[in-house]
Amino acid sequence: MKTKGEMTRAKILEAARELFNVKGFTATSINDLVAATGMQKGSIYFHFPGKEAIACEVLKDASDQFMAFLGRALGGDNPGASIDNFFRCALDKHLATGFVGGCIFGNTALEMGDSDPEFAGMIDQVFDEWISRVASVVTEAQKRGQIRTDIRYDALAKHIIATVEGGIMMSRLKKDERPMRECLDALRITLDLQV
Amino acid sequence: MKTKGEMTRAKILEAARELFNVKGFTATSINDLVAATGMQKGSIYFHFPGKEAIACEVLKDASDQFMAFLGRALGGDNPGASIDNFFRCALDKHLATGFVGGCIFGNTALEMGDSDPEFAGMIDQVFDEWISRVASVVTEAQKRGQIRTDIRYDALAKHIIATVEGGIMMSRLKKDERPMRECLDALRITLDLQV
């Protein structure tokens, strides 16, 4: 069971994650966190030295959760089915939020990519791990003839992830699932994906 | 010839565009503009009522320039060559900046997509125009057998733009041209693009 302190920390991190994702890191203030949690500023500072530290924890937690999500999403009956399942799970994840927030890693990549090398490095690690996990499923799918073999597995993995991120971006802008859904459907066809 | 007032306005807009693109809109302050232009705060406020108004002008100018860029980039000897040329010009554009800044529309889409409906609407119009221009070249390429025909032209256009945006995102994060280049090379192959 969580202690009261752990529960308070978790509450701050949850509110911060939502605020960072919707408003962006820079636009989120400690006062926003006070308003969102109903806590006093002093309690927030008791648990975290400042916004940067909260953001680091939020990204770490989001990364852990995302890797757990990837583990589930990439777990189909065979490699081709795993890639197909990943597309479906990614779409479902964003449908569930109505495309509010989008991808915290993509957002942070574009918000912090130039201005904050420490955050950029953290996000880069998430992308590298994501690419590497998708790439290993792609290799297996290539061995079984379930995906096209005329492009290297690692380039295909980056292509898949770029298209997913770009699809999320367009669907988030329009608050409409169609661009992301169409991008994923196009990927299934252009990759010769066999389930 | 530009008047002195027009030159001053242009100088403010140029500095603002660079700051917005690298730091994001929210993180940019009027004081940053003072530092970047060497102008006094009063002169900036003489030309613009505030940061929002500057951002609107920056987006409008960026949109005009981007449409002019698209006109040039999509102008090849035939539709297939035009799409190929667009890929090359997009990569060159970002190579020229060393992947600092990235795509101002993608960045603003992710920074403002949820928090500022007015900006989101402006960016959405840019994406719609971009999709529509690419889609009409794709239709022509399909008629000539220069691109795969088993996916609708408008879905292919979104797929192309999503992949370009995702590629820029990854290359910007890594400050490395390879992800974007690999995504574009993969697109040429997966789309069966004939030049």
Across the interface, which of B26, B127, B179 has its CB nearest the CB of A170? Answer: B127
Within chain A, residue ranges assigned H as helices are 4-23, 30-37, 41-47, 51-73, 79-96, 104-112, 117-143, 153-174, 178-190
Of residues A193 and B116, more confidence is placed in: A193
Out of A7-16, A106-115, B6-15, pick the least confident. Answer: A106-115
The pLDDT value recorded for residue A164 is: 97
Across the interface, which of B155, B179, B189 has its CB nearest the CB of A151? Answer: B189
The pLDDT value recorded for residue A126 is: 95
| A-B contacts (CB, under 8 Å) | 161
Q: Hey, is the C-beta of B129 within 8 angstroms of any chain A C-beta?
A: no
Contacts of A115 in chain B (CB under 8 A): 22-24, 27
Which residue from A minimizes the CA distance to B118? A173
Within 13 Å and on the Cβ side, how many CA atoms surround B99?
Answer: 22
* Contact yes or no for B164 and A161 at CB 8 A: no
The pLDDT value recorded for residue B111 is: 83
Average pLDDT value for residue range A186-193: 97
CA quadruple A110, B113, B162, B126: dihedral sign:
negative
The pLDDT value recorded for residue B23 is: 84
pLDDT tens digits, one per residue of A81-91: 999 999 999 99
Q: Hey, is the C-beta of A181 within 8 angstroms of any chain B C-beta?
A: no
Instruction: Please report, rounded to a whole number, the percentage of residues in chain A having pLDDT higher than 70.
Output: 100
- pLDDT above 90: residue A109: no
Of residues B153 and A1, more confidence is placed in: B153
- pLDDT above 80: residue A1: no
Domains, chain B, with CATH or none: 56-190 (1.10.357.10)
To the nearest whole angstrom, how far is the Cα of B58 from the nearest Cα of chain A?
A: 18
Residue B70: other Cβ atoms inside 10 A: 18
Which residue from B minimizes the CA distance to A182? B155
- pLDDT above 80: residue A192: yes
User: In whole angstroms, what is the distance from residue B150 CA to residue B156 CA?
Assistant: 10
* Contact yes or no for A186 and B161 at CB 8 A: no
- pLDDT above 80: residue A190: yes
To the nearest whole angstrom, how far is the Cα of A9 from the nearest Cα of chain B?
A: 26
Residues of chain B with pLDDT under 50: none
Task: Give the confidence band of A147 by pLDDT, cuts at 50, 70, 90.
Answer: very high
The pLDDT value recorded for residue B115 is: 79
Out of A38-52, A133-147, B112-126, pick the least confident. Answer: B112-126
User: In whole angstroms, what is the distance from residue A93 CA to residue A76 CA?
Assistant: 17
Q: Are B54 and B16 in contact (CB under 8 A)?
A: yes
Average pLDDT value for residue range A141-146: 98
Q: Hey, is the C-beta of B167 within 8 angstroms of any chain A C-beta?
A: yes
pLDDT tens digits, one per residue of B151-175: 999 999 999 999 999 999 999 999 9
CA quadruple B135, B68, B27, B173: dihedral sign:
positive
User: In whole angstroms, what is the distance from residue A144 CA to residue A163 CA?
Assistant: 23
* Contact yes or no for A106 and B109 at CB 8 A: no
Angstrom CA distances, B119 to A34, B59, B62, B97, stand at 27, 9, 13, 24
The pLDDT value recorded for residue B114 is: 82
Angstrom CA distances, A95 to A19, B136, B146, stand at 19, 29, 35
Contacts of A127 in chain B (CB under 8 A): 170, 173
Task: Give the confidence band of A187 by pLDDT, cuts at 50, 70, 90.
Answer: very high
Q: Are A149 and A193 in contact (CB under 8 A)?
A: no
Contacts of B165 in chain A (CB under 8 A): 162, 165-166, 169-170
Q: What is the mean pLDDT of chain A?
A: 93
Contacts of B167 in chain A (CB under 8 A): 158, 162
Angle between helices B117-143 and A153-174 (to 10 degrees): 130
At residue A57's C-alpha, the angle toward residues A20 and B175, to 5°, is: 70
At residue B53's C-alpha, the angle toward residues B50 and B55, to 5°, is: 105
Q: Hey, is the C-beta of A84 within 8 angstroms of any chain B C-beta?
A: no
User: In whole angstroms, what is the distance from residue A112 CA to residue A186 CA?
Assistant: 30
